[in-house]
Amino acid sequence: MSESMTVSDPSDAGERFARVLEILRARINKRQFATWFQPATLESWEGADLVMGLPNRFYQEWFQSKFSELVREAAESVARSPVSVTFEIRSAKTEEETAEPPQPKTEEPAPSGTPTDVYPSPFPGSGTDDSPLRLNELYTFDNFIVGPSNSVAHASAKGIAQDPGRAYNPLFIHGAVGLGKTHLLHAICHEFLARFPKERVCFLSCEEFTNEFVRSLQRNDVDSFRARFRNVHLLVIDDIHFLKGKERTQEEFFHTFNGLYQSNHQIVLSSDAAPNEIPTLEERLVSRFHWGLVSNLEQPETETRMAIVRRKAEIQGIDIPNDAVEFIAANFRNNIRELEGALLASKALSEVLNLPIDLDLVKKAVGPHLGRHTVNLDKITQVVCSHYQVKISDLRSKRRGRSVSLPRQVVMFIARLLTNLSLDEIGDHFGGRDHSTVLYAVRKVQSRCDSDPTFSATVDRMVDRLGGRVDPK
Residues contributing to the site for Mg ion (CB under 5 A)? 181-182
**Residue 178 contacts ligand ADP per CB under 6 A:** yes
Closest CA to 473 of 414, 428, 421: 421
Question: Which residue, 20 or 267, has its beta carbon nearer to ligand ADP?
Answer: 267
**Min. distance of Cβ 175 from Mg ion in angstroms?**
9
**377 touches 470 (CB < 8 A):** no
Query: Pick from Mg ion, ligand ADP, none: which does 145 bind, CB < 5 to 8 A by kind?
Result: ligand ADP
**Residue 190 contacts ligand ADP per CB under 6 A:** no
**Applying CB under 6 A, which of residues 116, 121, 150, 210 lies at the interface with ligand ADP?**
150
**Residue 187 contacts ligand ADP per CB under 6 A:** no
Q: Residue-wise over 94-106: b if at least 16 C-beta within 10 A, else e? A: bbeebbbbbeeee
**Applying CB under 6 A, which of residues 157, 160, 202, 308 lies at the interface with ligand ADP?**
308
3-state secondary structure of 246: coil
Query: Pick from Mg ion, ligand ADP, none: which does 144 bind, CB < 5 to 8 A by kind?
Result: ligand ADP
Question: Which residue, 336 or 466, has its beta carbon nearer to ligand ADP?
Answer: 336
Rounded to 5°, the CA angle 434-438-442 comes to 170
Q: DSSP of 198-225, one letter per residue? A: TS-EEEEEHHHHHHHHHHHHHTT-HHHH
Query: Pick from ligand ADP, Mg ion, none: which does 179 bind, CB < 5 to 8 A by kind?
Result: ligand ADP
403 CB-near residues (< 8 Å, 6+ apart) = 388, 390
**Min. distance of Cβ 142 from ligand ADP in angstroms?**
10
**Min. distance of Cβ 12 from ligand ADP in angstroms?**
34
H or E segment to which residue 403 belongs: helix 402-418
**Residue 41 contacts ligand ADP per CB under 6 A:** no
Question: Which residue, 117 or 338, has its beta carbon nearer to ligand ADP?
Answer: 338
Q: CB burial class (10 A; 0-12, 13-18, 19+) of residue 126?
A: exposed
**Residue 180 contacts ligand ADP per CB under 6 A:** yes
| Torsion over CA: 24, 67, 1, 134 (sign) | positive
**Residue 183 contacts ligand ADP per CB under 6 A:** yes
Rounded to 5°, the CA angle 400-406-409 comes to 100
Return the DSSP state at 117.
Answer: -
Q: Residue-wise over 10-37: b if at least 16 C-beta within 10 A, else e? A: eeebbebbeebbeebeeebeeebbebbb
Query: Pick from ligand ADP, Mg ion, none: which does 449 bind, CB < 5 to 8 A by kind?
Result: none
Binding track, positions 90-119, relative to ligand ADP; x by CB under 6 A: ---------x--------------------
Question: Which residue, 181 or 429, has its beta carbon nearer to ligand ADP?
Answer: 181
**165 touches 171 (CB < 8 A):** no
Residue 49 phi/psi, 5-degree rounding, is: -105, 110
**Min. distance of Cβ 345 from ligand ADP in angstroms?**
15
**Residue 179 contacts ligand ADP per CB under 6 A:** yes
**Min. distance of Cβ 298 from ligand ADP in angstroms?**
11
**407 touches 416 (CB < 8 A):** no
Comparing every residue's Cβ against ligand ADP, the nearest one is 180
Q: Residue-wise over 442-467: b if at least 16 C-beta within 10 A, else e? A: bebbbebbeeeeeebeebbebbeebb
**Min. distance of Cβ 96 from Mg ion in angstroms?**
6
**Residue 333 contacts ligand ADP per CB under 6 A:** no
Stretch that binds ligand ADP, among 172-180, 255-263, 324-332, 438-446 (CB under 6 A): 172-180
Q: Residue-wise over 51-61: b if at least 16 C-beta within 10 A, else e? A: bbbbbbebbbb
**Residue 177 contacts ligand ADP per CB under 6 A:** yes
**Residue 216 contacts ligand ADP per CB under 6 A:** no
**Min. distance of Cβ 239 from Mg ion in angstroms?**
6
209 CB-near residues (< 8 Å, 6+ apart) = 237, 249, 253
**Residue 145 contacts ligand ADP per CB under 6 A:** yes
Residues 115-144 that bind ligand ADP (CB under 6 A): 139, 143-144
- For ligand ADP, the binding residues (CB under 6 A) are 99, 139, 143-145, 150, 175, 177-183, 308, 311, 336-337, 340
